[in-house]
Structures are given as structure tokens and as C-alpha cells.
Amino acid sequence: MEACVKRAEASHVLTPEEITALLGAPEVEECLAAAADRVRHAFVGDGVHLRGLIEFSNICRQNCMYCGLRRENGKVERYRLDADTIVELAHKAKGYGYQTVVLQSGEDLYFTAERLAAIVRRLKELDLAVTLSVGERSYEEYALWRTAGADRYLLRIETTDEAVYERWDPGMDYANRVRCLRDLRALGYEVGTGTLVGLPGQSLASIAADILFYQQLDADMVGIGPLIPNPDTPLGTAVPGDFHMTRRMVALLRLLLPEANIPATTAMETMVPHGRELILASGANVVMPNVTEGDPRRNYALYPGKVCVADTPAACRSCMSGRIRAMGRFVAKDKGFRRHRQS
């Protein structure tokens, strides 16, 4: 196993069988994490990119069985921020020192392509990198946002096991999800995607296939998080995703996609105190602190127990900066675009 890790560190290549074996091997976790940290240092450096997250609507047309924002969840207090409020939050994010804002929402079709493009144009006037995460849209809509100045797009596929995907994302089509990712790549976005670890029916082999899919897609950013069951969803009594197996997946992603931006997700810290530091020490190089304010910050409830909900955006920024410095790392001051290796 350790020889396999060393080979992955040097060549950034593993077979599906090797990835599956490493995912299922707790005894190799520290070795994997250390190798991933070395690759992270070599390829993306010691800077941690902070990206300000604006959760601007929790209204969603989809009905994913694990998500607290699902259409049929009547216990959620729904909200939608207007364009001026979104821009104001972005302006504050700029004041906190963020170089990137991430506009994230449920699949809220009130935000037509034209409405969202107008917001993107206003954000670009602030000299910010703009990431969108608003779900499945047409090629033409993605193209309009790209022309407006959007730099990145996050669309987690959650699983590349088509049967598992369509079981827990009813009414959605796996092929269309893949189409969206291909369209985004063709349009020149930095493309982000990722896995939800712990979906019932998911296997180690299917998670290995996820990693190889991200490698084949040449994903620029890959976000990994464990399933945290939400009691207001059909998967409310499911077994939570495994933190340590998720950590091994993060490390493997760094070994096999050495240039990618990999976030230490909030879900990891929700499961384990200081989980973000542990993941940053296992190959990750991005954190996305929430800059949403007030009730919307509380009501964007994908899962229960989300950390930092009661904090102010300014406090989050200060806290995370201090924690990064305590690790011997630093907050990067650039916009955090992927660094491509010299050919």
C-alpha cells in the first residue's frame, strides 16, 4: 500500500483497483495525507485561497433526497436576495480581503440568465473573480454568464454511479448533469465538481470511478463532503458519510489531480472539530467562508449543525485567517486561478 502511495505521488496515476483499495484502507490514511500534503506544497504552494460564499436563494426546483433545500421540504423558511443585496455583500467581501466570491443558490429559476448576467457584470466591476453555483442550465445560459465575466462554475455531480444518482436525485438525468459539465468546460470556465460521500448504495469502486472521472474531465476544482443526514429529508435516518474515508478521498484527489483547487469543506468541520485544518493538511488549499448575513445565513440549511452559522462574516474571516497562520500556511492574495504545469 505504501509503495502504491509513493508511486501515485511520483506519477499521479493509479488504477481503479488501486484507488479502491486505498479508499478502503484506514491503515494507510496518514501516509496518504502526508504524500498529498507534499504534492500540494509542490504544485499549488502554501497559500490558502479564501473565497467568499454568498448564498443568495434557498428556493430550489429540484427534489434531491438528501438536501434540506429540496422542493418538497416545507419546513424551510425560503428567501431570495435581490440584486442590490447580492452586490452589497460582494462589496463587503472585497472589503474583508476576498478576491473571489461564490454565488450559490438552489435551482431558482427566478434568476433568469439575463438577471444573473446583470449581477455578474456588476461584480466584475469590483475586480473580483466570480464563481457561479446555480445548478443545471442550458449551454446558452452558461455562455451568457461566461460572456458577462463569470470565471468559474461549481456543479457537483455527487456520484458517477448512474443508478445511485438517479435514485437519490429523482426527476434528474445523469446524462444531463454530465452534459452541463462538458458544456462548462467547452465554454472556458474553470470547472468545479465533486462527490457526496456516503450516499446509500455508493461503493468504494464507484467513488474510485468518481476520482477517475474528475481526472478525465481535468476538473479545476473538486469539493468533497460527507453525507450529513438532514431529518427533514427522506435520507434523514441514513448513516452519515465517513469522515476518514472522505479524508482519504481528498488525499487521493490531490495525488491524482495535483494542480486542482481542493476545498476543505464546511461539512468536514461540522463532523469533526477543526476538520478544515485536518483536510488542509491532507491536500486541500481552499476554504469558502460564508459572507451571507442575517436570517439567510441560517436558512441555507443543506444539513443540520452547520458550523459558523451564528458568526458574522467579519468574525469568520478573522478566525479562518488566524487558523491558517497557526498551521504555518498563509492566506493567498491572488484570485486563485488554477496553475497549469509547464509542458
Residue 88's H or E segment, with its range, is helix 83-96
Total Cβ atoms within 10 A of residue 112: 12
Which three cell numbers mark 178?
A: 454530465
| Closest residue by Cα to residue 151 from 177, 184, 182, 118 | 184
- 31 is known to lie in a ligand binding site: no
| Closest residue by Cα to residue 20 from 203, 226, 215, 258 | 203
> Is the separation of the CB atoms in 280 and 45 below 8 Å?
no
Q: Enter the DSSP assignment of 263.
A: B
- 177 is known to lie in a ligand binding site: yes
Say which residues have a Cβ less than 8 Å from residue 112's Cβ, sequence separation at least 6: none
Q: Find where cell 504524500 sits.
A: 35
3-class DSSP assignment, residue 183: helix
* Single-letter amino acid, residue 8: A
- 152 is known to lie in a ligand binding site: no
> Is the separation of the CB atoms in 331 and 97 below 8 Å?
yes
Total Cβ atoms within 10 A of residue 239: 10
- 158 is known to lie in a ligand binding site: yes
Q: Rounded distance, CA 33 to CA 29, Å?
A: 6
Annotated binding site: 60, 64, 67, 133, 158, 177
Annotated binding site for [4Fe-4S] cluster: 60, 64, 67
Annotated binding site for S-adenosyl-L-methionine: 158, 177
Annotated binding site for (3R)-3-methyl-D-ornithine: 133
